[in-house]
Chain A
Amino acid sequence: MKAERYVVIPFIVLPTIFLVVISVYPLAYSLFLSLFRGLLDQFIGLKNYADMLADRRFHDAVYVTLAFTTITVGLEVLLGLLLAGSLILSSVERKSWWQTVYIVPMAIPPVVSGVIWKILYHPSFGPLNLLALIRMPVPDPLGQPSLALLAVSLINIWMWTPFAFLVFYSGIGAVRQEIIESALIDGASKVQIFRSIVLPSLRTLILVVIFWRFTANLTAFDEIMGSTEGGPGFTTTTLTMFAYWIGFKSWDLGYAASAAVYLLLVVAVVGSSLFGRLGIVRE
């Protein structure tokens, strides 16, 4: 019995070691690093955190990050739901073909997506230039400060709506068919079925997608780097880009680490709130 008792130990110990090495150690090292100027050049305590709060670039980056995340997550969830609902409830044939088409953008590396959209948005070399043929003004979505954030958000939405679609499509597929059929026999419209049967059954999945996309989009980087590099001006400079510039261009890794810690706090607060709603942290 005693030998059997120890059989379980490797199953607990190995994942714990893995977690410590992969997750806890880097986190602890980041916290340690954030107490120094530069690359462990000089110990300065919590000064980086205080400086960061007074740094206007940090304020701007927080605003851009939150605006970007709100726009993208909101639209990705909404469009994902609409696409999944319309495909599953429609009588269109070859649904698997449509599924494949919908998820193609997700398979393209984000930085490549950024470059592709940079060309698509280009007022001279991209398709927008066709507007000139009908004597309409050609917009420059990535070059106008008022449009750039929206344009970059659209790239992220294009890339990640397929993820929301995929999750919701699977979720809707799990709804018992008899319930839907009963509702149809009772004369419910497809919109009513979607609103009253499908949507409530997806509550948990919606929260999971919101959580996943929220944490991922708070740290979005590649598509922004590939399209605007944070410009024009600072209108698309997110917290991750801000930390990248400080950390890997000017080698002030301490200051960059403190930005990362603030970002982690935001993710932790939002994450625990969403997990609370999901009932995952409920004892």
Chain B
Amino acid sequence: MTEKENVDRRTWLKVTGGAVAGLVVGGALGYVAKPAEIRTVTSTVTQTVTGTAPPPPPPPPPAKPIKILGFTGALGDALVPVVNAFQKKTGTTIDYVRLGYDELAEKGASLMTVKDTSFDIICQDDPFTPKFYEAGWFEPWENFGWKRDLDLFDGLVDLGTWPTPEYMGPVPPGAREKTPKQYAIGWGGGPCVNYAVRTDKLQELGLGEPKTWDDVEEIAKAAHNPSKSFYGWVNRGTKGDPISFDTFPIFWDYGLESIFDKTWHVICDRPEGVAALEKYLAIAKYSPPGMVNYGATEQGLEFVQGRVMQGLPVPGDVISDVEGPNSKSAGKLKWMLPPAGPARRVSIIGLFCMGISTYSQNKQAAWEFIDYFLSKQGQTVYTTEGKTWPLRRSMWMDPAFNSQPWVKPLYPGSVEMFDAHPQPYPRTTLWLSLVNIWGGYLNLALTGEISAREALSKAKVELEQELKRAGYIK
């Protein structure tokens, strides 16, 4: 090709510019023409063409399907019988889409950001829900006639209230003046951190059930025998969420109301906070090697192999294995509310929550499903066929139910836990950033690299920096 035959810069720019502009205009038109509008146009055209003879009355339209965004695993599986029962009862089709933990969190928020209308019910782990409440991504249940049902545990209901009640910790600055509304309910998972101890070993050692964290330390010391691969204590030590979740009750029990005060100033380095962390580290001295990187799987495995005396397992994560037929700890554990500190005795609650998408085109049907799920009938299906714990107190108290093998180990410990008003993670859209700092320093203290006091001081500096950046404090 000669020099003359080459495409000159101007021609190239013209053609490329034209193509890009065409793409942009095409894309914009596609964006503007929403699917709903296209459907309306199609329907109008059809009526005009067939309008010469009076058409027969159309059959009643089938109930619009409900689409649920939920989570995978045994916890998510428990909802399947409820979905089936509701479909059978009402004839409404339900599409129950399930995703893994991280994918669910990302998908949930990204769907809401683009105002997606395809999902009617969205499930999210509770630390993500303040974002949903604050951004208006969930529909208030008051719009459907929701009335608080006293048979449902307070903690489960309060987890879906925004702004949250005062006992659940400080409320973010933008939400303080809002009227509390119900947006969701806690249901799948945890329900909480429970303390579990080997009663057979307690008898061998001549020790009683612990009442305080000092007793826990004493038991850990007495039982710890690394030469026989038996350890006095276990919890999830991985940085971030796992260690934060498992250790919060100790901080509360030692008198720290939260790691923030009511105006979000960081108070974790107060003497009660230091005392709590020092106590935890004293107990953790009797843990198996490598606990710094333990998650739920490793913790559960220690119980299954019968290598630990006591710990803080989250029942929903591990009970089917820990109390399963292959576990050396099965039938030997006492599950109970974590022991007391000098100030109080409380556990932490952490659950998936279920709410109705603001952008749903089928909100009433979605509400009817939730209403059925929370009813006595729905809960019976959920717990008996889904092999899980109920949200209703009356069912827990029913001897015919609480003697069932999948709930027996958790009764009455879980009821005591709910009655003690368990607290959730701090309710803020920032928490998942803050927990990385908080849980990072707890983890570093667990390695022995820094002292309890140093960990809390350093955490305070970085937590404050993050809170200032977000405008929570000045």
- The proximity string for B residues 376-419 relative to A, scoring 1 for CB distances below 8 Å and 0 otherwise, is 00000000000000000000000000000000000000000000
B437 touches which one: A12, A57, A118, A252 (CB < 8 A)?
A57
A residues less than 8 Å from B23 (CB atoms): 17, 21
| Interchain nearest-CB distance for B350 vs A (Å) | 15
Contacts of A251 on B, CB cut-off 8 Å?
109, 131, 429, 432
Using CB atoms, name the residue of chain A closest to B307: A124
Which one of A6, A13, A123 has the greatest number of beta carbons of chain B within 10 Å?
A13
Is there contact, CB below 8 Å, between A231 and B432? no
Residues of chain B with a CB closer than 8 A to A234's CB? 239, 440, 444
One of A124, A228, A245 near B288 (C-beta < 8 A) = A124
A230 CA to B105 CA in the complex, in Å?
Answer: 20
- State which size class the interface on A falls in: 35 or more
Interface size on B, residues (CB 8 A): 48
Assuming A124-B288, A233-B443, is B433 touching A246 (CB within 8 A)?
A: yes
Contacts of B288 in A (CB 8 A): 124
Contact of B240 among A144, A227, A229, A255 (CB under 8 A): A229
- The answer to whether B447 touches A12 (Cβ under 8 A) is no
Report if A17-B430 is in contact (Cβ < 8 Å); known contacts: A1-B5, A124-B290, A231-B293. Answer: no
Contacts of A145 in B (CB 8 A): 444, 447, 449
Give B228 Cβ to nearest chain A Cβ, in Å. Answer: 12
A20 contacts chain B at the CB level, 8 A cutoff: yes
Asked if residues B462 and A232 are in contact (CB atoms below 8 Å), the reply is no
B99 to chain A, nearest CB (A): 14
Interface bits B412-456 vs A (CB < 8 Å: 1, else 0)? 000000000000000001111110110011011011010000000
Looking across the interface, which residue of chain A has its beta carbon closest to that of B289?
Answer: A123
Tell whether, in the assembled complex, residue A12 and residue B12 are in contact, meaning their CB atoms are under 8 Å apart. yes
Q: A55-B465, A143-B289, A229-B238 given; name 10 further pairs at CB < 8 Å.
A: A4-B5, A13-B15, A13-B16, A54-B465, A124-B289, A124-B290, A138-B289, A145-B447, A232-B449, A250-B430
What 7 A-B pairs have minimum CB-CB distances, sorted nearest first? A233-B444, A250-B433, A231-B239, A249-B432, A143-B292, A123-B289, A250-B432
Q: Which B residues form the contact surface with A (CB < 8 A)?
A: 1, 5-7, 11-12, 15-16, 19-20, 23, 102, 105-106, 109, 113, 131, 229, 238-240, 288-293, 301, 429-434, 436-437, 440-441, 443-444, 446-447, 449, 461-462, 465, 469-470
10 contacts between A and B (CB under 8 A): A6-B7, A13-B19, A232-B292, A232-B443, A232-B447, A233-B239, A233-B444, A234-B444, A245-B436, A249-B433
